[in-house]
Structure 1
Amino acid sequence: MNAELRALAAAHGVATWYEDTERRRVEVAEDVVVAVLAELGVDAGTSATVRTELSDALRRHGRVTVPDPLVVRAGESPVLSVTGELTLEDGTVRPVHDRLPGDLPLGYHSLSFGDQRVPVVVAPPALPPVPPAWGLMAQLYALHSPGSWGIGDFADLRELVGGSARLGAGVLLVNPVQAITPVKPVKRSPYSPSSRRFANPLYLRITETDAFHRAPERVRAEVAALAPPPGAELIDYDAVWAAKLAALEVLWRHAGPVPEPEPDLAEFAAFCALAEEHGPDWRTWPAGLRHPRGADLTAPRAAFHAWVQGLCRAQLASVREAAADMRVGVVHDLPVGVDPAGADAWALQDVLASEVTVGAPPDAFSQQGQDWNLPPWRPDRLAAAGYEPFRDVIRAVLAHADGIRVDHVMGLWRLWWIPPGRPASEGTYVHYDANALLGVLTLEARRASAIVVGEDLGTVSDEVRATLRERGVLRSSVLWFERDEQADGEPLLPPARWPSDAMASISTHDLPTAAGFLRGEHVRVRAELGLLADPAAERERAAADRDELLAELAEHGLLPEEATEEDLVVALHALLATSASTLLLTSPQDAMGEPRQPNLPGTVDEYPNWRIPLAVTVAEFLQHPVVVRALATLRTERPPDTIG
C-alpha cells in the first residue's frame, strides 16, 4: 500500500493495519481499505482520485480553527484562536476571546464566530464514585410468573427487583429491552433491536396496563382469554406477540383520547405501521417510503403503535420505582447497534453506514472473525449532527434506568467495519472520536444521576481502560476471563486482585453458566453441533480449567469435602464475594445451577438462543435453597447497612 493511500485512510480514521489478539501486526488488504473508504464517500479507486481526495482532506483540515463540534470537560479552557460569542444552554451569552472560558456549566452550548456556528458540549470531568453493592443480572425473557404470557415481562422484572432489594441487593442489570419490529417472524436476540430509542412491547404485562383496568369487564375477559397456555419448554416469540398484539388491539378499541406523540415517537410508530403493511425490511418497501420523509406520521395505525409505547413507558417507570431503595438501582444494557432492516436503520440512515456491518477480526475463539450484522455510525456524519443521534439513544435508555451498561465499549474508540459482500475476516477498524462520545455519554449519565459500565471483555488497549477509569466508568470483570497476564500459563487471577472499578460476575449470557462450566456442558453442546475442530482437545482443556478453578476454591478454603454440584455453585459465589470489584453480580442461571447458557455464540437456530425460560418462577427463585445460600455469600461482603 503506497504512502498516499495510507495518509488518506489515516485522514478518515480508517486503519491500514492492526494488532491481533497475540499483539502481532496484521496488514489490511489494500482493496479492503479502498472499499471502506468508499462507504465513507471517499473515492480511492485510482492513484489520481487518491491524490485528489487526500489534497481535499488536508485542505479541509487546514481550514479548521475550532473542532465541530467542540467537546470539552468542565474546567478545560482550550485555545481557539477565534473571537465570538458563546450562547449557553440557558440562553446566557458569554464573550469568547482566543480561548474557551474555563468556568462553563455542564451542557450543550453554541459558539458563533464569523459566519460559523459550532456546537459546544461541556461534559463532567468524571462521574461520581459508584457505591459498593451486590445484585443480579437478568435475562428478562427467561423470567416468568403465573401472570406471564409465555415470556418474562415488566411485571416479572418489577417483582425480581423488589424481591432482590428486600434481600439486600443494590443493583439489577437487565438485558436490552428495546423495540422489536412488530411483525412475524419476531427477531429473538435482544442485542439486535429494531430501535434502541423505544421499548419492546413483548415485555408488556397486558393485564396490568391502565387500558386493561379501565376496560369493561367483558373486554377484560376477552383479553384474558387470549393468554397463551403456560409451561412451554421454550419461548415462542411469534406466538407471544400474536397473543399480545391481539389483546392490545382489543384494548385500543376502547382507549380514550391519546396525546399526540413527540416527533421521534411519531416516526417510530409510522415505521411500525409501514412494516405491518409492507414487510419487516424497509429496504424492500416502495421507493417513496424508504425514508421517513415519505411516511404518513398521522395514520391511525401509527397512532396505535405510539399508544403501545406509552404503555411500555408506564411499566418501565414502575420497575424503576421498585428499585427506589436500592443503592444503585436498575441498569439497562445498551447493544452495539441495531437491526439493519429495522426502525433506527430507517430513521437514522443519514448518519449510519448502512451498507457495511460491524463485528470482530479473527481470533482464537472465532478463527473466521465475527459479523454481528449491525450497521455502524458514520463518524463524519455523526459529528456533523453534533452527536445528537448518539445523545438521543443514551437519553432514551436512561429515561427509565439508574445506569447503563455499554456493550463492546471499545466501539467508542473503533469498530471493525466489514464491507458489503465480504467475509468477517476482510474488514478493518474505523476510528471514532472517543473523547466526544464519552463526553456525551457521561454528560447524559450525570444529568440522569446514573452509573455507566463498559463491557470491555477481550483484547482491550491500555488507553481504553485508563480512560474509562479516569472518566469514572466501570469496566467488566468475569471469572472465566480474569487471568494473570504477567505469569507463565496465565493462571486465574485471585478475585482480590481484580480491578476495583468494575462490575464483576461469574459468567455472562454468552458464556457457560456456573453449573454448565462444572459439567463441561459448553464443550458437549458445541461438540454435538459440530462447532469444534478437535472435541477431544477441547474436553481436555475444559477439564484442566475446571481443575484450576477447584484449586482456586481450595486455596481460599471454599472447597468442601465431597462437595456436591450445589456446594460448588455456592462456593463459586463465595469466591466472587472476595472480589475487589465495586459491584458483584450473579445471574439467576448461575445462582440456581442452570446448566444451559442463554446464548451460544456462533449459532442461530442450532441452539435455543434467547428462548430458555428459568425452571422456576420469580417468587420460587427468590426462595430457592441454593439461591438463598449463594446470595448470602454476596450479601456478607456487601451488606446494605454499611453501604453509603
Structure 2
Amino acid sequence: MDTALEQLAEAHGVATWYRDARRRRVDVDPDVVRRVLGLLGVSADTPAQVQDAVAATRQPGLPATLVLRQGRSLSIRAPGVLTDEYGADMPVQDVLPADLAPGWYSLTSGERHTTVLVAPPTLPEPPHTWGWMLQLYALRSAQSWGVGDLADLREFIAWTATAHGSGAVLVNPLHAVTPTLPVQPSPYSPSSRRFVNPLYLRIADIGGYRRGDPALRAEVDALRVDPGGERIDHDAIWKAKQAALELLWQAERAPRPVMSDQLGDFATFYALAERHGPRWSRWPSELKRPATASADPRRVAFHAWVQQQCDEQLTAAQDAARGMAIGVVHDLAVGVDPEGADAWALQDVLAIGTTVGAPPDTFNQQGQDWGLPPWRPDRLAATGYAAYRDMLRAVLAHADGLRIDHIAGLWRLWWVPPGASPDQGTYVNYDAEAMLAVLALEAQRAGAVVIGEDLGTVEPEVTETLADQRMLGSAVLWFARDEQAPGTPLLAPQRWAQCAAASISTHDLPTALGFLRGEHVRARAALGLLNDEAAEWTQAAVERAELVELLRTEGLLRADGEDDDEIVVAMHALLGRTPCQLLLVSPYDVVGELRQPNLPGTVDEYPNWRLPLPVTLEQLQRDPRVGRVVAALRSAGSAASLSVEP
C-alpha cells in the first residue's frame, strides 16, 4: 500500500492493518481501504484524488466538537463566546477553563459554532451488590399475554428486593421493532433504540382499560394470548396487543399526544410502515426522508400514544426498584435494523448500506456480518454527537444502569462495504474519548451505573479505560482463564477483576445445566453445525472436569459431589467468592433450564429468543432453588453479601 493512501486512511481512522485473534498482523487490501474511505465521503480511487484528500486533511481549523474533562483546561485557536445549556454567555480568549461544570456548551468564534462537551472526570464508584439478569420476554406470568411484560418486571423487582435484598435487575434490550409481520424476535436487531417495543405492555395496566366499562374489558380480554405455549409466538402476541391497544385508544377518544420531534418521526415511520411495508428504502422517494414524509395523522397519534403507555409502565417498573443498591439496568444493542425507524430518521449520521461485523477468527473463518449500519464518525463529530447523546438519553430515561453490548465499538467497528463478504472489511476508528465523554456525562446525569460488554477479543485499552472511568467490564465463568496463557485452567475466583459485572453465562452461551450436560454440543450437532462432533464432546467433558476440580479445590463441592443441582449451587458460591462489584444470577441457571436463549450461527434453525422459562413468575417466587442459590451466593463473602436487606 502506498504511503499517501496510508496517510489518508490514518487521517480518517480507517485501518490499513490489524491484529487477529492470535495477535498476528493482517494487512488490509488497498481496494477495501479505498471503498471504506469512499463510504466516509473521501474519494481515493486515483493517486491525484488521494493527494488532494491528504492535502485537505492538513487544512487548519477548529474541530467541529471539542471534548474536555472537568478539571482540565483546553487551548483554543481564537477568542470567542461560550454559551451553556441555559443560555448564559462567557467570553473566552485562548483557553477553555478547567472549572467548567459538566455539560454541553456552544463556542462561537466569528461565524463558526463549535460544540463543547465537558464530561465528569470519572463516574462515581459503583456499589458492591448482586442482582438478576432477565430475558424479560421469557418471564411469563399468569397475567401476561404469552410474553413477559413490564408489569411482570415490576412484580419481579418488588419480590426480589423484598425477599432477597437484591441490588439490581438487568433486562434484555426493550427496543422497538418494526410494526409489521413477521415480528423481529431478536432484541439485538431493533428498529429503534430510542423507543420501546409495545409487546412489553401490560394491557390491563393501561388507564383506558382500568377506566373501561365491563363490555370494553370483555372485548379486550377476549384477545388475550394463552401464556402457556412452548414457544413465544411474537406474531400472535403482536396482533393481539395491537388490536387491544386500538380498542383502548379509541375508547379514550383517540387522544393526540404532544410529540417531540423524535417521537413524531418515530410515530410517522410506524404509520408509513403499516401502509408501505417495513423497508423504507423501497418507499416512494418523498417518503424516504423525515423532512419530506407525511402520514395519516390518526395513525401517527396512535403510535405516539402507545409510546406514552410504554413510558408510564417503564416508570412504574423503575419506581419499584427505588431503594435497591442500583436498580433497573437496561441493555443497549450495538446497532439497528438498516430498514428500521432509527436508520430512516438518522440516515445522515449512519453509514447506510454498510454493515458492521467482525473479522475472520477461529470460529468464524469468513468473518461475521451483523447486518447493522454503523455510526459515521465524521458526521457524529460534525453534529456535536447529538444523535448518539439523544439515543443514550432515551434509554437512560428509565434506567439506573446501562449495559452496552460490544462496548469496544466505541473505539472501533469492523465495517463491511456494500456487497462485500465479511472478510473484505476493515476497522474504522471512532473518537473513543468523545464517545466515552458523552456516555459519562449522560450516565452521570441519570445517576446510572455503566456496564461494558468486553468479552472475547478486545484490546486491553478497552478494559483498562473502563476501569479508569469506573465503568464495569464483564466477566463470565466460561471465559475466566488467564488471557496471557491460553489453554490454562479456569481462574481461581480471587483472581477475577474487581471492576466487572460477573455471571456464570450470557444469553449467547450455555446455561449452567446446559454446560454440565453438553447441551451446547448436542444442539449444534443436531443442526449439523459441527465438523468434529466427537472432539466437541471430548472438549465438553474436559471443561466440565476442570470446573468440578476448581469447585472442589475451593471447598465448594464435596469430593464425591457429582449431582448437577449440587454443582450449580456451588457455581454460584464460586461467583460469590470473586471480588467483582456486581454479581448477576440468571433464572435459567436457577431453575435448571438446558436450552440457551440464543444459539449464535443460527436464525430459524433454532428457536432463538422464543423460549420461555420453564416456570412462570409465580412458580419462580415459590421455587426453593432460588433460596439455595441466593444463600450460596451471599454466604461466600463477596459483593453479594454487601447488599442491604430492605
Indicate the residue corresponding to 2:317 in structure 1: 319
Measured in 1, the distance between the counterparts of 2:425 and 2:301 equals 42
- In structure 2, the partner of 1:207 is 204
Which segment drifts farther, 629-638 or 550-559?
629-638
Structure 2 CA distance, aligned partners of 1:643 and 1:232?
36
Give aligned-pair identity as a percent: 57
Give the superposition deviation at 1:94. 1.8
Aligned-pair distance for 1:116?
1.4
Q: Which residue of 1 aligns with 2:153?
A: 157
- Which AA in structure 1 matches 2:349? V
Contact 2:573/2:632 (8 A) holds in 1: yes
In the TM superposition, 1:431-580 aligns within 5 A as 431-487=429-485, 489-560=487-558, 561-580=560-579
Partner of 2:168: 171
Within-5 A mapping of 1:379-390: 379-390=377-388
Per the TM alignment, residue 365 of structure 1 is displaced from its structure 2 partner at its CA by 2.1
Moved more, 20-29 or 228-237: 228-237
1:25 aligns with 2:13: no
Q: Once the 2 structures are TM-superposed, how far is the Cα of residue 103 of structure 1 from its aligned partner?
A: 0.5
How much has 1:58 moved relative to structure 2? 2.3
Matches within 5 A, 1:238-249: 238-249=235-246
- Higher mean alpha-carbon deviation, 558-567 vs 98-107, is at 558-567
Distance 1:11 1:620 in 2: 58
Out of 363, 366, 373, the position equivalent to 2:364 is 366
Q: Are 1:83 and 2:79 counterparts?
A: yes
Question: Hey, what's the Cα distance between the residues in 1 that align with 2:504 and 2:627?
Answer: 17
Residue in structure 2 matched with residue 34 of structure 1 by the alignment: 34
Residue matched to 2:11: 11
Shift of 1:563: 3.4
Cα separation, 2, equivalents of 1:14 and 1:446: 31
Distance 1:580 1:353, change over 3 A: same
Indicate if the aligned counterparts of 1:566 and 1:626 stay in contact, CA closer than 8 A: no
The Cα shift of 1:403 comes to 0.7
CA distance in 2, matches of 1:203, 1:556: 42
Encode CA deviations 1:343-386: one digit per residue, 9 max, x unaligned. Answer: 00000001000010001111122222111100000000111110
CA offset digits 1:243-285 (Å, max 9, x no partner): 0011111111111434321111011000000000000111111
Name the residue aligned to 2:131.
135
CA distance in 2, matches of 1:94, 1:294: 38
Bigger mean CA deviation after superposition, 580-589 or 157-166: 157-166
Name the CA distance, whole Å, in 1 between partners of 2:552 and 2:264. 59
Offset at 1:490?
Answer: 2.3
On the 8 A contact 1:168/1:640 being kept in 2, the answer is no
C-alpha displacement at 1:320, in angstroms? 0.2
Distance 1:243 1:44, change over 3 A: same
**Residues 1:587 and 2:589 aligned together:** no
**Is structure 2 residue 221 aligned with structure 1 residue 221?**
no
Greater shift, 208-217 or 627-636, is seen at 627-636
Residue 101 (structure 1) aligned to one of 97, 102, 105: 97
**Structure 1 residue 114, shift from structure 2 partner:** 2.4
- AA partner of residue 487 (structure 2): G
Q: Mean alpha-carbon deviation: is it higher for 266-275 or for 90-99?
A: 90-99
Aligned to 1:126: 122
SS for the counterpart of 1:373 is strand
Counterpart code for 2:179: P
Secondary structure of residue in 2 paired with 1:574? helix
Task: Tell me, in whole angstroms, the C-alpha distance in 1 between the residues paired with 2:623 and 2:351.
Answer: 48
**Counterpart Cα distance in 2 of 1:412 and 1:278:** 34
Q: Cα deviation per residue 1:47-104 (whole Å; 9 max; x = unaligned)?
A: 2221222222222xxx12x332101110110222321221122222222121111100
Deviations 1:315-358 (A, max 9, x none): 00011011012110000000000011100000000100001000
Whether the 8 Å CA contact 2:131–2:168 is kept in 1: the answer is yes
Moved over 4 A (4+): 640-644
Amino acid at match of 1:567: E
Q: Which range moved further: 459-468 or 348-357?
A: 459-468
Gaps of 5+ in 2: none
Counterpart residue number, 1:268: 266
2:231 aligns with one of 207, 230, 234 = 234
Count of residue pairs brought into register by the alignment: 640
Q: What are the Cα deviations for residues 402-438 of structure 1, in whole angstroms up to 9, with x where unaligned? A: 0100100000000000011111111100000011111
Structure 1: distance between partners of 2:643 and 2:426:
50
TM-score (norm: length of structure 1): 0.97
Superimposed CA distance per residue, residues 573-603 of structure 1 (whole angstroms, 9 cap, x where no aligned partner): 1111111100000111012111100000000
SS at 2:548 equivalent:
helix
| 1:429-488 CA distance string (max 9 Å, x none) | 000001111111110010111111100001121221221111111100001111113446
| Alpha-carbon shift at residue 642 of structure 1 (Å) | 5.3
Deviations 1:284-330 (A, max 9, x none): 11111011112226711110000000000010001101101211000
Unpaired runs of 5+ residues, structure 1, are none
Residue equivalent to 1:287: 285
The offset of 1:146, in angstroms, is: 0.8
Q: Summarize deviations over 1:513-564 as a string: whole Å, max 9, x none.
A: 0000000110111111111121111111111111111111011111233432
Q: Which residue of 1 aligns with 2:400?
A: 402
Asked if the contact 2:141–2:227 (Cα under 8 Å) also holds between the matched residues in 1, the reply is: no
Matched with 2:2 is 2
Q: Which residue pairs with 1:639 in the alignment?
A: 641
8 Å CA contact 1:266, 1:297 repeated in 2:
no
Question: 2: distance between equivalents of 1:348 and 1:299?
Answer: 22
Q: Is the 8 A contact 1:418 1:426 kept in 2?
A: yes
Counterpart pick for 1:188 among 185, 190, 198: 185
Decide whether the 8 Å contact of 2:256 with 2:302 is kept in 1: no
On the 8 A contact 1:170/1:328 being kept in 2, the answer is yes
For the residue of structure 2 that corresponds to 1:350, the secondary structure is: coil
Structure 2 match to 1:421: 419
- Name 2:605's counterpart in structure 1: 606
Q: Give the Cα separation in 1 of the matches to 2:382 and 2:486.
A: 48
Structure 1 CA distance, aligned partners of 2:532 and 2:578?
34
CA contact (8 A) 1:132 1:643 kept: no
Two-structure CA RMSD over aligned residues (Å): 1.4
- 411-420 vs 95-104, greater mean Cα deviation: 95-104
Residues of 2 paired with 1:456 and 1:250: CA distance? 44
Whole-Å separation in 1 of the counterparts to 2:109 and 2:50: 33
Which amino acid in the other structure matches residue 83 of structure 1?
P
Q: Tell me the TM-score normalised to structure 2 length.
A: 0.97
Is 2:81–2:89's contact at 8 Å kept on the other side of the alignment? yes
Partner amino acid, structure 1, of 2:200: Y
Structure 2 distance, partners of 1:297, 1:498, is 54
- More deviation in 296-305 or 186-195? 296-305
The alpha-carbon distance between structure 1 residues 641 and 269, as it changes in their structure 2 partners (threshold 3 A), is: closer
| 1:19-38 superposed Cα distances (whole Å, 9 cap, x missing partner) | 01111000111111111111
Structure 2: distance between partners of 1:490 and 1:547: 13
Q: Deviations over 1:180-224 (max 9, x none)?
A: 111101001000110000011000011111121122220111000
Question: What is the SS of the residue equivalent to 1:349?
Answer: coil
Give distance in 2, aligned partners of 1:394 and 1:15. Answer: 27
